[in-house]
């Protein structure tokens, strides 16, 4: 999966978690929870949605690596390449 495809996948999952959010306004370096005003349950659903779309498991210890859009893309890209 390419970086562009991963970003599109992440945004698609975010759209299901925060359908009212304008995803084009997300600062890719800011915390997704702050940018989208989502709580910890929404974040858990985000992680589950990523798993369903990519097949990449994200252990809880790695959550800090996926807190921003850029961080999430980099993390998933690294995991996809390693697979």
For residue 38, give every residue at least 6 positions away whose Cβ sits within 8 Å of its Cβ, in sequence order, or none: 17, 18, 32, 46
The per-residue pLDDT for range 32-63, each reduced to its tens digit, is 999 999 999 999 999 999 999 999 999 999 99
pTM score of the predicted model: 0.92
Spans of all domains in the chain: 3-82
Is the pLDDT at 19 greater than 70? The verdict is yes
CA–CA separation, 71 and 20 (whole Å):
23
Query: pLDDT digit string (tens) for 68-81?
Result: 999 999 999 999 87
CATH code of the domain occupying 3-82? 1.10.1200.10
Phi, psi of 68, rounded to the nearest 5 degrees: -115, 165
């Amino acid at each position: 999966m390419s970086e562009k495809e991963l970003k599109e996948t992440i945004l698609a999952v975010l759209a299901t978690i925060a359908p009212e959010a304008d995803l084009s306004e997300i600062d890719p370096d800011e915390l997704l929870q702050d940018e989208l005003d989502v709580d910890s349950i929404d974040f858990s659903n985000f992680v589950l949605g990523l798993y369903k779309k990519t097949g990449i498991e994200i252990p809880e210890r790695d959550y800090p690596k996926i807190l921003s859009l850029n961080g999430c893309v980099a993390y998933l890209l690294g995991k996809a390449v390693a697979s």
